[in-house]
Amino acid sequence: MHRTLDQYRRQILLRMVAGAAGLFLLAWGVIPLYSSRFHIGCLVLMLAGLLLLGAALLYPALARGIRRLWKRRAGRITLSGIGAAACLLTLLFLTVSGVMTAAACAPPPEGATVVVLGAALRGEQPSRMLAERLKTAAAYLRDHPESSCVVSGGQNDDEIISEAEAMKRYLVGLGIEESRIYLEDRSTNTEENLRMSRDVVEREGLPDAVVVATQEFHQLRARIHAEEAGFEEIGALAARTPWYLFGGYWIRDFAGVCRYLVLGY
C-alpha cells in the first residue's frame, strides 16, 4: 500500500515538473514572436513545450502504451532507437554549445579593427539586438582610441536605409568620431558581412586583427566566416542577449553550425 502511494506521489510530481517545464518552453518559444521574426529556434522550443505538456497530461495512457510496445521485439528496437537518437542529439548539442561558448569568450586583441555585424532595424533605428552590438563596440572603441570600426549590413526590402548607415548614426550618437567608422552596406548575411568587411579593411589599410561585435550565440558562426574571409587574429565582443530571446536564438545558431558542418555553408 505504501509502495503504491509512493509511486502515485512520484508520478504526480513528475507530471507537475514536466507540465511546468513544458509551459516554460512553450512561452520561451512564443514570447520572441512579439519582438522578432519567427525562426527554427522558436519552433523547436514550442514543439518541445507541447511534447512535455502532452506527456504530463496523458502520462497514464502514454505509460501503458510504452509498456505494451516494450513487450514486442519491434517495439523494443523502436524505443531503443529513439532513446539512442535522443542521447546522440543531446551530446551533439552540448558539444557544439561548448564550442559556441568558447568562441564567445575569445579575448579581443588590443588595437584591433571592430567589425559590427548588421541586424534588423526598426524604421531608421537599430533593433534592440543591434543596439546591444553597437553599445558593446562603442565601449571597445572608447577604450582603444587608435581603433577603427567597420559597420556591416545592407538594406533589406523592408528597410528604409541600410543597416550600416543606421549603425554609423547610432555610434556617432554614442560619441564615436565619424572618421573612425567605415561602411560596408551591401552584405545580406553573416558570410557576406565578414567577406565584404575584409575588403574594406584591405582597401582602407586598417589593422588585420579584428574583433567581431555580435551576440554570444552568433560568435562561432561569425568566427568561422571571419577565418574563411582571411582574418587570422579574431576576438569576440559578445553583446548581451535578452533572456526571453536567448534560448531560441541559441538553438537557431546551433542548427546553423550543424548545417555548416554538413553542407559547408
Residue 32 pLDDT grade (very low, low, confident, very high; cuts 50, 70, 90): confident
Burial per residue of 190-202, b for 16 or more beta-carbon CB atoms within 10 angstroms, e otherwise: bbbbbbbbbebbe
If you average pLDDT over residues 194-213, what whole number do you get? 96
Residue 223: pLDDT over 90? yes
* Per-residue confidence (pLDDT) for residue 5, from 0 to 100: 65
pLDDT cut 90: percent of the chain above it = 77
For residue range 114-130, list pLDDT tens digits in order: 999 999 898 999 999 99
For residue range 149-188, list pLDDT tens digits in order: 999 999 988 889 999 999 999 999 999 999 999 999 999 9
Residue 2: pLDDT over 70? no
Residue 146: pLDDT over 80? yes
Residue 265 pLDDT grade (very low, low, confident, very high; cuts 50, 70, 90): confident
* Per-residue confidence (pLDDT) for residue 158, from 0 to 100: 82
Residue 36 pLDDT grade (very low, low, confident, very high; cuts 50, 70, 90): low
* Per-residue confidence (pLDDT) for residue 59, from 0 to 100: 87
For residue range 73-92, list pLDDT tens digits in order: 988 999 999 999 999 999 99
Mean pLDDT of the chain: 92
pTM of the predicted protein model: 0.88
Cell of residue 205, nine digits: 589599410
